[in-house]
Chain A
Amino acid sequence: DAKTTQPNSMESNEEEPVHLPCNHSTISGTDYIHWYRQLPSQGPEYVIHGLTSNVNNRMASLAIAEDRKSSTLILHRATLRDAAVYYCILRGWNSGNTPLVFGKGTRLSVIA
């Protein structure tokens, strides 16, 4: 699986936008970019995913670079509940199993 690189930690003020970067320079053409987050003492939770185009949903936006070598998860207005570890994961086609391969992620702190 292609690797991703994320900052270890980031900090944001409450109600401000947060841009979480992810580098994936070895991404292949069929790799999807997934973002999950894990709140304290909970299981991972799906946030968003995309292939080539930018994506929006009720939780966040995903901006994908034109060359697909990087992407940014955007939380439009951070709340205290958004404090979590955010994982950027590439998921490519593999005959049969396509597990999520979690790296270390970015720990987001939100300051009131």
Chain B
Amino acid sequence: EAQVTQNPRYLITVTGKKLTVTCSQNMNHEYMSWYRQDPGLGLRQIYYSMNVEVTDKGDVPEGYKVSRKEKRNFPLILESPSPNQTSLYFCASSEQGEVADTQYFGPGTRLTVL
């Protein structure tokens, strides 16, 4: 089944403790991205990747890192999480990231930073 998977689905952590949220897709997509969703603010893009080893900042990149060493994986790294990073995170992928492409979203990771 074609899908985007994320792990963990739920995470409660404390300020400053490094964490990684994994994202994997099995559709051989070139383009992957991370979004966060907050009440009243909608979904906002954090980082994106056009291809392996090619990543760039989205609209809200502060406090996050990403890497794209393999086509299928695009982990989101929070080196020193803070409470304002408490949010619902979605990973997405599409064939090329072009305007007509369909984006496929993962199920989400709900992160709470205490």
User: Which residues does A use to contact B, with CB under 8 Å?
Assistant: 30-32, 36, 41-46, 49, 51, 91-93, 96-100, 102-105
Contacts and interface: CB of A to CB of B under 8 A. Distances in A.
Contacts of A92: 99
A100 B56 contact: no
A44 B90 contact: yes
B42 A43 contact: no
Contacts of B102: 46, 49
B99 to A, nearest CB: 5
Interface string B54-67: 00101100000000
A32 B48 CA distance: 20
A46 B59 CA distance: 22
Given A41-B108, A43-B4, A43-B108, 16 more contacts: A43-B107, A44-B90, A44-B103, A46-B102, A46-B103, A91-B100, A92-B99, A97-B45, A97-B48, A98-B98, A98-B99, A100-B35, A100-B92, A100-B103, A102-B42, A103-B42
A30 B50 CA distance: 21
A32 B43 contact: no
A36 B102 CA distance: 10
A61 B102 CA distance: 16
B20 to A, nearest CB: 19
A31 B98 CA distance: 11
Nearest to A91: B99
Contacts of A42: 107-108
Nearest to A50: B100
A10 B54 CA distance: 41
A96 B56 contact: yes
Contacts of B106: 43
Looking at B42, B98, B99, the one whose CB has the most chain A CB atoms below 10 A away is: B99
B99 A99 contact: no
5 contacts: A43-B106, A44-B92, A96-B56, A100-B43, A100-B92
Contacts of B4: 43
Nearest to A94: B99
